Amino acid sequence: MDNLIALSGYQIKLLMRNAKSLILGFSLPIAMFFIFSNLLAGYKVDGNIPLTDLLVPAYIPIIIVNGVLVIYGQTFMLYKEQGNLLKFKLLGISGLTVSSGLYIATFLFQIAASMLLMAFAAVAKGVVIPYESLPNIAAAFLLINVYQFALTYFLTSLINKSVTYQGVSQLVFYYQIFLGGLTFPPEMFPSFLREFVYIFNPIVYGLEMMRGLWSGTGNLLDYGKEAAILIVVSAVFVGAGIMVQKKFGKIA
């Protein structure tokens, strides 16, 4: 536990020094909210819900995708490529402890960035924060984290070079946010593209949970199908990652 706390604190310090990741993580969702809250003003979905009220629950998953897929994944790849995992192992610190420390740092970053986004939306546009739904929103937040971690686990199992991972992760990042309904709502997609998204981009199910819970329509149990899909897809990615590592002799 002491090693985990120390590694998490160390990684937080490193993260604070990485200005590029911090600027992207904190400013991108806020900039997107500012732009699209003006661009999409007047649009409504599900009958009478102003679209601007649903931008925050759409942009919180962007923070998660950036935090897990881009920041955590790239840092983990650098550790693996530079042999730091082996170095820590020789010091008696397991790879699980190291990766957990990396993940905790990025998870705390996600929370801070999400809180900043909500505060900005409340002040700039008067968006009402649904405090009574926050426990359910937090559960959806964790489920999306699980899905992104599983996807990252698969990609880091498949890719050996950090430079290659950086390019692939950016491609997957933009694929998820632009073709997952996180930037433009799925309701604005043509029917064929909407069908594609629901089949080949599971992040849309995380979006549906976040939007529904944010707008106060039920609790997490009412989104059992969406949660189940994310869990099943996550299990598939983890299983595929384990198979890749076994095939190439990366794990015992």
Say which range, 39-53, 106-120, 125-139, 175-189, has the weakest mean pLDDT.
39-53
Burial of 211 (0-12, 13-18, 19+ CB in 10 A): buried
CA separation for the pair 211, 191 (Å, rounded)? 20
Phi, psi at residue 160, to the nearest 5°? -110, -20
Chain centre to alpha carbon of residue 233: 15
SS3 53: helix
Q: What is the DSSP letter of 152?
A: H
Question: Is 50 strand, coil or helix?
Answer: strand
Q: Which of 54-58, 79-83, 90-94, 128-132 has the lowest mean pLDDT?
A: 90-94
Whole-angstrom distance, CA of residue 154 vs CA of residue 219: 30
pLDDT digits (tens, 9 = 90+) for 214-232: 988 778 889 999 999 999 9
Only one residue has tokens 């759409």, namely 58
**Is 210 within 8 Å of 57 (Cβ atoms)?**
yes
Q: Is pLDDT of 30 > 50? A: yes
In whole angstroms, give the CA distance from residue 108 to residue 117: 14
Q: How far apart are CA 209 and CA 248, in angstroms?
A: 37
Q: Output the pTM of the full model.
A: 0.89
Phi-psi region of 45 (alpha: psi -120 to 50; beta: other; left: phi over 0): beta
Cβ-based neighbours of 175, under 8 Å, separated by 6 or more: 201
User: Are 212 and 218 in contact, with CB atoms under 8 Å apart?
Assistant: yes
157-175 residue pLDDT tens? 999 899 999 999 999 999 9
167-197 per-residue burial string, b: 16 or more CB within 10 A, e: under 16: ebbeebbeebbebbbbbbbbeebeeeeeeeb
3-state helix, strand, coil in the chain (%, to 5): 80, 0, 15
